[in-house]
Amino acid sequence: MLGDVALGLIHAVTTQDDLVRLFGEDAARRVTQAALPGLYVAPTVTHALNHVGAAIVDRTARTQQFDLDDVSAESVENAEVTPLVFVLDPLEQATRASYELQRGARMAIGGLMLGDWPRGTTLTLDDSALVVDAVGTAAEGLLGLQLTTVDLQDVARKLTALGVGLVPMTTASAQTAPIPAVASASQRMALGLIRLFGGSEVTGPGERVSPSGDVEALLGLLAEHRSHWLARGDIKTMLWGDEKVSPDRVNNLLKSTRRKLRTALDLPLDQGDVILSADNHGLMINPDLYSVDVWQFRDLHRKLATAEEHEKRALLTTAVDLWAGPYLRDVPHSWARAASRKIGHDLLDALDQLADLEDDPGLAVLRLDKAAEIAPTDQHICRRRMHLYADMGRIKAAQLCYERLAETLTARKARMQPQTTEVYQRLTAS
């Protein structure tokens, strides 16, 4: 959750006492001092619930600004807002907490209760995290649900990789929660995030925006020029080629891009130049205000070369989790296609390495299944999947893997590699 707060995906409300309960006094103090964007640490439960109540009033007022004669109630309810979660032990305020939950249910506001909560649902899990019993208001449909358990050290490493940072638990502290490590000002997460995997989206403390067309292409171009200025002449060439472009078209594109970036951060009108820095050399995304998902992916992938063995799983998992679809999917330019292919290659490498680190062959094959969805003609991935399926006694699955590859290769007029056929025949000979 702290990772999502730092990325601007959610807002969170808690109290100092609840932070101490979760992380210990020293860690709670450092989390508070870090001033993570979107995290409000209240002095008491009452103050926390007052903050939630104010957020509900604000979101209600915003929905009332819609012209309900022209906009359906459903579209008003589905208007995108940043989810808000309050993490509290409600104590004597349980009735009010329940009231705020009911009011905020349609406004992306929810609660995680740390103490006894009679209005919730109690689940009984077996050793494999299967729900074997469920009692409470939301029990229906939960019985038999398979949950995923998370190793605390992996969580700590994943948050560290995100830049939020939890120090991995040691044997001596195995019975206590991991301790947050507050990053220095230069290492803290940016206020907003530009997503370029699987489409284009900009998130931050303000409105969520979805750039398209030339704005999306410009953001991709700026993302590819992370560490050096992008000249206006290069913008014209890489976006419009030999087409004759007026200065007004470039200026209007820059204005539109700045406006969307400013809107997502909820900054004043005169702050556009701060977000998209400019000087005589060109333009650059201000890294103190915005991060980009592809930057995070590349940084994580780069860290693998020098990472300790125990760090690699968290780095790889975090990198893979950033993937939401092809990089610069809707940008048609040749430079975007080349960058997308390189990122796709790095993603396959990450999934391949992650599969190697999985002790459970079932989890390993899931990693490779995802790789096969991304690159259905990759024969190395197919051979690894067939080996794993055979090791698990799932010969039919290995056959299906090979048959689907053959169909895809035929459709794309590509050839099956001899070693792939040899593996298939050897594994299915019996």
Q: What is the pLDDT of residues 183-216, one digit of tens each?
A: 322 333 467 899 999 999 999 888 899 999 999 9
Same domain, 211 and 102: no
Tell whether 39 is covered by a domain.
yes
Tell whether 308 is covered by a domain.
no
Task: Name the domain count of the chain.
Answer: 3
Q: State the residue range of the domain holding 271.
A: 190-292
Q: What percent of the chain has pLDDT over 90?
A: 36
Q: What is the pLDDT of residues 376-410, one digit of tens each?
A: 999 999 999 999 999 999 999 999 999 999 999 99
Same domain, 106 and 196: no
Same domain, 366 and 280: no
CATH code, domain with 225: 1.10.10.10
Output b/e per residue, 98-121; b: 16+ Cβ within 10 A.
bebbebbeebbbebebbeebeeee
- What are the residues facing 71 on neighbouring strands? none
Q: What is the pLDDT of residues 282-292, one digit of tens each?
A: 899 988 888 99
Same domain, 282 and 368: no
Tell whether 43 is covered by a domain.
yes
Q: What is the DSSP letter of 209?
A: B
pLDDT in the model for residue 337: 96
Q: Which of 235, 261, 292 is the last residue of a domain?
A: 292
Q: Which helix (H) or strand (E) holds 233?
A: helix 232-240
Tell whether 266 is covered by a domain.
yes
Output b/e per residue, 129-156; b: 16+ Cβ within 10 A.
eebeebeeeeeeeeeeeeeeeeeebebb
Write 326-334 long-range contacts (CB < 8 A, 24+): 326/197, 326/198, 327/196, 327/197, 327/294, 328/196, 328/220, 329/198, 329/199, 330/199, 330/200, 330/212, 330/216, 331/216, 331/217, 331/220, 333/217, 333/238, 333/239
Q: What value does the mean pLDDT of the chain take?
A: 80
pLDDT in the model for residue 78: 47
Whether residue 153 has pLDDT greater than 70 = no
pLDDT in the model for residue 423: 95
Tell whether 199 is covered by a domain.
yes
Same domain, 363 and 270: no
Tell whether 225 is covered by a domain.
yes
Q: Which of 275, 292, 309 is the last residue of a domain?
A: 292
Q: Which of 66, 94, 119 is the last residue of a domain?
A: 119
Tell whether 220 is covered by a domain.
yes
Whether residue 416 has pLDDT greater than 80 = yes
Tell whether 306 is covered by a domain.
no
